[in-house]
Amino acid sequence: MIPIHNLKPGDIVNVDFDGTFTRGSVAEFDRENQQICVITNDDQESWYSPADLSPIILTKEDLEKLQFVPSAPFADGTITYVRGPFSIEVKDPNTLQEITLMYRNEAQRVFHHGLALHELQNHYLDMTNVHLIDRAALED
């Protein structure tokens, strides 16, 4: 479950439709009825309750789809993923734990746990004022 107040339009989440999980992008909200409209990969637009949504744990593949480029590993194993002036430093690349988000000269945001894909999107939006979207989904 993802609370409705933790989501923004464009966030990528998993939706549960009769036991089948599908990735989708949040389109709009009906806050009065606590419903979220999600567009799935087959361009199907449906309304869901927050209980039908689940986070997608961030992976290296997701970062690459979002056009982040990995650096060569540092001596301690740390990898930095870069997209323009935004970077994500990952202390444990195997589990994507111990993450530091950096944008230009702003204060860094440090997380001692992994992030969900929609959480990264929301931090990116908050720090850059630009929504981070899956470019591959736009090309399909």
Residues 65 and 46 in one domain: no
Domain carrying residue 22: 4-54
Q: How far is CA 37 from CA 20, 33, 40, 49, in A?
A: 17, 12, 10, 9
pLDDT digits (tens, 9 = 90+) for 78-123: 999 999 999 999 998 888 889 999 999 888 999 998 899 999 999 9
* CATH number reported for the structural domain that contains residue 26 in this entry: 2.30.30.140
Cβ atoms of 14 and 56 closer than 8 Å: yes
Residues 135 and 69 in one domain: yes
Q: What total number of domains does the chain contain?
A: 2
What pLDDT does residue 137 have?
Answer: 53
Among 28, 50, 31, smallest CA distance to 39 is for: 28
The answer on 126 and 78 residing in a single domain is yes
- What's the mean pLDDT in 24-34? 93
Q: Are residues 68 and 133 in the same domain?
A: yes
pTM for the full model?
Answer: 0.89
Residues 21, 47 share a domain: yes
